[in-house]
Amino acid sequence: MMNKTFCKNRLRSLVRITAKERLRQFLEIFQKEDDVLVVINADPDALACALAVKRLLRFRVKSVTIGYPNEIRRLSNLAMIELLKIQAERLQNLKTGSYSKRVMLDSQPSHLPIFEKIPFDAVIDHHPLSNGWEARFMDIRPEYGAASSMLVEYLRAAGMKPSVSLATAMFYAIKVDTRNFEKKAKLADAISFRYLFNIANQNLVRKIELSALRVSELSYFRTALAEMKISQQRLYVHVGRVRNPDVQVIIADFLNQVHDISWVFVSGIHGERLVVIFRCDGYKKNAGKLAEKTFAAMGSAGGHREAARAEVPLKNLPGEGVDFSTKTLMQLTKKHL
């Protein structure tokens, strides 16, 4: 495996080249008879990038298949796939060794165990460079807010105007990953976003955005409003067992809009794990660091200044989490505030 210093030097040399040269280096990997597997961890940015690469390789290779390992549960992601007619398959159902070329987008081979056994020819991502992998072509730009912004540059360098469907996917992806440009982004993200604005179908974007809750999930809001406790401008709530922890994210974002609330903590139990969602303004607070201080010793925890998440196996909690409550959540987090 290449060491991280060598990888960084390769990436620095790639940053200095033009978009057309970067595109040329990417495309020269492929031949006409290639069957290409595009691997993603399916979310809006990754799905949009996969569609963009599929467009770039159309007529250049024999076939392009999109594969993902995660179960897609979030309604907005399902709506995106359905409305934009995105064809993708579970990675577990594909024979990864039967493809002549493999591309990873919006992630890196070391991010998930299922990726580590797959040799990749190209990796394009906007997350910080990780150790333990190599590829013939690497384009890692962590200063970008979305990988879709990078893929827009590839398309424009190729002289390809995206279809309405592709533009809609990429436009929505940039909105999501930059959180409407509230999170870290650079001018290149804004340029790509503006370019897509006149091509994307805004009605479809809105329809995808509004697909967030199932009727059966409304009861969690009732529980949250009944169980929440407020202390020193901090709002705590344990919603009990959840079918999907995504509903906790929705509840946390909703409660984060309440005036005079500086912190929001929403916990729930999914399967055999406690999931805790953290929200704050990120100004003089750091949700990611608080999540790590509170739960890293018991499970996994981390995130950004304004948003974070922790997941802890129930067996690691006192009493295996049987009596976990909003009061327990308050006691755990207050130790580190």
The residue-averaged pLDDT of 23-36 equals 98
pTM for the structure as a whole: 0.72
CA–CA dist 107, 115 (Å, integer)? 10
Question: How does residue 322 score in pLDDT terms, banded at 50, 70 and 90?
Answer: confident
Q: What pLDDT is attached to residue 74?
A: 85
More confident residue, 243 or 164: 164
Angle at alpha carbon of residue 231, lines to 230 and 235, rounded to 5° = 40
Q: What pLDDT is attached to residue 216?
A: 85
**Which structure tokens are listed for 208?**
């995808």
**Please, is 32 exposed, middle or buried when counting C-beta atoms within 10 Å of its C-beta (0-12, 13-18, 19+)?**
exposed
Question: How does residue 43 score in pLDDT terms, banded at 50, 70 and 90?
Answer: very high
**186 to 15, 130, 152, 295: CA distances (angstroms):** 15, 21, 14, 32
Averaged pLDDT score across all residues of the chain: 92
CA–CA dist 140, 142 (Å, integer)? 6
List all residues 6 or more positions away from 277 whose beta carbon is below 8 Å from its beta carbon.
Answer: 245, 248, 249, 251, 252, 264, 265, 266, 267, 307, 308, 309
Q: Is the pLDDT of residue 265 over 70?
A: yes
Q: What pLDDT is attached to residue 326?
A: 96
Phi, psi of 108 (to 5 degrees): -135, 155
What are the chain's domains?
4-210 (3.90.1640.10), 218-334 (3.10.310.40)
Measured over the CA atoms of residue 293, residue 294, residue 299 and residue 304, the dihedral's sign is negative
List all residues 6 or more positions away from 217 whose beta carbon is below 8 Å from its beta carbon.
Answer: 243, 244, 247, 250
**Which structure tokens are listed for 106?**
């919006």
Question: How does residue 10 score in pLDDT terms, banded at 50, 70 and 90?
Answer: low
Q: What pLDDT is attached to residue 12?
A: 57
Q: What pLDDT is attached to residue 267?
A: 97
